[in-house]
A = this chain, B = another copy of it.
């Protein structure tokens, strides 16, 4: 693999500290201090004309005076001086700058211009910049601390509790939270490669750093704290690479609620796409979402220590009956299965536990069995080999300072032999000794109960996602849109626009008179429906513009006149294109298929079952376009209401292929026109019970104004 362009940013041979100071109360002073304290092995170059040397390091008058190329400049000087300093760095051959200074776009007003000036320097000179308004990074393997965060202060004994030599890389759009994730993860025994705060992302952004960590062999899991992605396509490209390489990405996305999004927008000084679009992208690429810091840490913990499971069946071994039952509830609640064990497996378990133990699942070896003998360990060895389970949860009380029921060598050997995910829950708070002992087993120790269920379920979900092929991202080339389209395309014009993308044939005609309407009905066959066609009438039913189930010429004529009259009454200035005559569709299940063109991620396809399931229960599934037929079918199967399509209450299952093909084709259409199209809704799409395909019973396209 070629050297990544950010190699010199994360692994600099030399670091200049602009405005370096011996004063530890100033950020510039702390930066220099922490860089040295953490044992940075490269060359440190303090730049400050006021000093000859700082704490024994030679100090330079200017970056130009260094006289050799510098990999990284740390910039924590007042905002007004940053752009000129960056210019000087570029001239001196500095490759990268890390700008900690605040007071740019996040302040608004004139400060925005200062940020624009920074961008201009980077684009003109080619110097790359992280920040401004960031907290720097910590490269744990390289012992490079370019941050003033107190969480990277060096303490003794930290590495002893590492549960794995695999490491997490953190990219955070909030320095405080990014280093808090590091602080929490470290305490739980997780090793980190890099922890990076991206700040305002004037130049380098989350997508750039994600791409680096996805390719980086020191990073096994990436964790994102994400307020707003600034480069949607590059972000998606990096996620696609991660999925290809099977390198898990955990994302915490904030700004999901109104209040959170209001706060996030004011905080990051940037507009973000909808959470729906983020979620759709995350689902496609197997990104695991987390809602809580400890949840993120727990998910990382199992990803670092576990192979991917082959299924969702969990075995539980416990010294506490109550704890075992509680775990069984928790795993079940999170979509895992705790199967009863076969008589044969129970028999072999019974042989290794006290008479009053329970060899079902949970396997209760009792406190006595665990305290006075190795029942927990022997039961583990027996159950791990069983093909009746796909993963194993060990329960223990790790609060003692002197004794644990886990034997490191036996646990490690078992985990290696069985190749199944294994993890530990301690129902008491773990002591330092308890954590260390469990770390020796190579397993992540959960203190939260809920996070055991949640993280093991996410692990299984990740395994399921990466087992599905990633849809190809080929797109159809089409003729450009005519320039004179109205903002709203009503049903027949919307269908005409979409037709070249392989829509099912429409049994309909636009009629300009009652006579044309009867002619159309005769051709199509009765019964028919009549609908007003007007770009000014979006809510046709409300306007009295829809009449269904017309059986003969006479009623078609009457309906035509009634519809035109109603439309004029509803809105006298409405432009009327005519009345659409449609053959009534055979009965079936109603779908809603939609699209919203997200400012960050482009067209996002949506599908749901019509009526209350969508509007009341919000039961919809989204994916970014393009979607292929397999992914579209998976979207339909992922609906909570999917059983209604597959033979609920004795009805025959419906063939989903026509609907999946339609979604895939529509996704090509909206992608082709993504520059112009804003929204699309097909509602309802009737998927016929008799297997005769589907009918698009209404359609609406809105263009950007």
Contacts and interface: CB of A to CB of B under 8 A. Distances in A.
B612 A254 contact: no
Residue of A225, A323, A325, A400 contacting most chain B CB atoms (<10 Å):
A325
B399 A150 contact: yes
A376 to B, nearest CB: 13
A184 interface: yes
A260 B295 contact: no
B356 A323 contact: no
A263 B358 contact: yes
A172 interface: yes
A491 B219 CA distance: 67
Contact of A174 (B179, B187, B258, B323): B323
Contact of A176 (B227, B262, B322, B338): B322
B448 A325 contact: no
A102 interface: yes
A378 to B, nearest CB: 20
A257 B150 CA distance: 44
B257 A400 contact: no
A356 to B, nearest CB: 5
A690 interface: no
Interface string A323-351: 11110111111000111100000000000
Contacts of A320: 174, 176-177
B293 A427 contact: yes
Given A291-B450, A325-B260, A358-B267, A617 B640 contact: yes
Contacts of A493: none
Contacts of A103: 356
B356 A102 contact: yes
B180 A428 contact: yes
Contacts of A613: 612
Given A322-B172, A362-B263, A257 B449 contact: no
Interface string A106-119: 11000000000000
B640 A429 contact: no
A616 interface: yes
A423 to B, nearest CB: 16
A96 interface: no
A259 interface: yes
A183 B262 CA distance: 39
Identical chains in the assembly:
2
A450 B448 CA distance: 12
Contact of A325 (B187, B255, B294, B322): B255
A649 interface: yes
Contact of A321 (B257, B267, B429): B267
Contacts of A218: none
A329 B260 contact: yes
Residue of A106, A176, A332, A400 contacting most chain B CB atoms (<10 Å):
A176
Given A399-B150, A616-B644, A256 B358 contact: no
B102 A263 contact: no
A326 B180 contact: no
Contacts of A367: 176
A501 B612 CA distance: 34
A690 B612 CA distance: 21
Contacts of A397: 176, 180
Given A151-B399, A358-B266, A260 B332 contact: yes
14 contacts: A106-B356, A176-B367, A177-B323, A183-B429, A184-B429, A227-B325, A259-B338, A260-B328, A260-B338, A264-B325, A267-B324, A291-B450, A294-B449, A612-B613
Closest 8 CB pairs of A and B: A174-B322, A257-B332, A267-B321, A259-B338, A260-B329, A176-B320, A259-B328, A263-B325
Given A176-B322, A615-B648, A617-B640, 5 more contacts: A150-B400, A259-B331, A262-B328, A263-B362, A617-B617
Interface of A: 102-103, 106-107, 150-151, 172-174, 176-177, 179-180, 183-184, 187, 225, 227, 252, 254-264, 266-268, 291-295, 319-326, 328-333, 337-340, 355-356, 358, 360-362, 364, 367, 397, 399-400, 427-429, 447-450, 612-613, 615-617, 640-641, 643-644, 648-649
